[in-house]
Structures are given as structure tokens and as C-alpha cells.
Amino acid sequence: MNFEVELKFAVNDPAHFSRMVESLGGEWGQPMFQVDRYFNHPARDFARTDEAFRIRSVSDRNYVTYKGPKIDTTTKTRQEIELPLASGAAAADAFRHMLEALGFRFVAAVHKQRQSNSVHWAQQNVEIVLDHVDQVGVYTELEITCEQAEVESAKQVLASLAKRLELRTTEPRSYLELLLQAEAGR
């Protein structure tokens, strides 16, 4: 069973942050535009159970992702199951309609531009992303995907890398939570 171990931070100076990552040997990929459409379960409130269920569209590719509840308070560590869907906007719309027919309720769509990078740190491959999230701001996520037995080690590696990148205050909320709070504040 795969677990996603993640730390998220607001980024005040994206250019400076990008240079710091590059100094570790990382090379940024081309920006990708992603749309994450989130749904709520018909019989339980994912906001209360700390779960997430979404359709992610990246260019022409689509994925369905379930994220289980976070298992600790210092990182965003949780079980993640992601499966590919058929390609194209019509396939994403058809899957959305099927979910709604089953009683799932659309919550919101998170739009972001993402650049990805990978660095080798403390004998681990760490994915680093820089996200410009519409209506929310600029954030980075440091992530390791691992087996449950490796979670504690992965958390230590991410904390060490965050310190090296001068990232101080973690952001525990998801982009969906940040978006919903921003929309509620209008």
C-alpha cells in the first residue's frame, strides 16, 4: 500500500526558491496546467473524515484519486490510490456525470500551474513541485511516495530538505480547503 508523505509551504519569492532547488541539482520541468475537480461522498462528509476524492486533468490526461485521512499532524501523510481514466475532456465529463448519478456531489475545482522537479536528498528521491494556485497563491510541496514502513524515515528526509530550502511554516490545509476559505472570505 502506497503512502504519500508531503510537506506544503507558502512561497513568498518563487524565483529565489527555484534557484535554491536548482542549487541542489534539480531541474524544473515545463509548466503544466492542472484542474482538480473534488467530490463529496453521498453517505459521508469528506471534509469531516479528512478524505479527498477527485478527478485530475493534466492536458489531455485524466486520473481519479482517492486520498485517505491524514495519519499524523506534522506532515500530510496519507494513503493515496490513483488510477488513470480515458483521455480527453469528454472522458472526464462522463466520469463526473457517473459520479453525480451515484450521488457524489461536486464541491469545487482547483486550477493550478505546476512545475515539477526531483532532487536526491538523504538517499531519497524527493519530488518538489511549485504551484501557482488560482485564488490561493504560490506554494511548494515536498513529497515522497513510500511503503508504510518507510513513512517515519520519509518524514525526517522531508524535514531536513525543508530546512535546507529555508522553508519554515508548514501549511496543513489542502488546496481545496484554502480555495473554499478564500471563496468564503469574499
At residue 112's C-alpha, the angle toward residues 127 and 162, to 5°, is 35
* Residue (of 135, 89, 85, 144) closest to 112 by Cα position: 135
| 144 and 157 Cβ atoms separated by less than 8 Å | yes
Give this prediction's pTM.
Answer: 0.94
Q: How far is CA 184 from CA 47, 135, 175, in A?
A: 15, 12, 14
SS3 of 22-50: HCCCCCCCCCEEEEEEEEECCCCCHHHHC
DSSP class of residue 68 equals -
* Residue 171, SS3 per DSSP: coil
pLDDT digit string (tens) for 89-131? Answer: 999 999 999 999 999 999 999 999 999 999 999 999 999 999 9
Domains in the chain (CATH in brackets) are 2-184 (2.40.320.10)
**pLDDT of 15:** 98
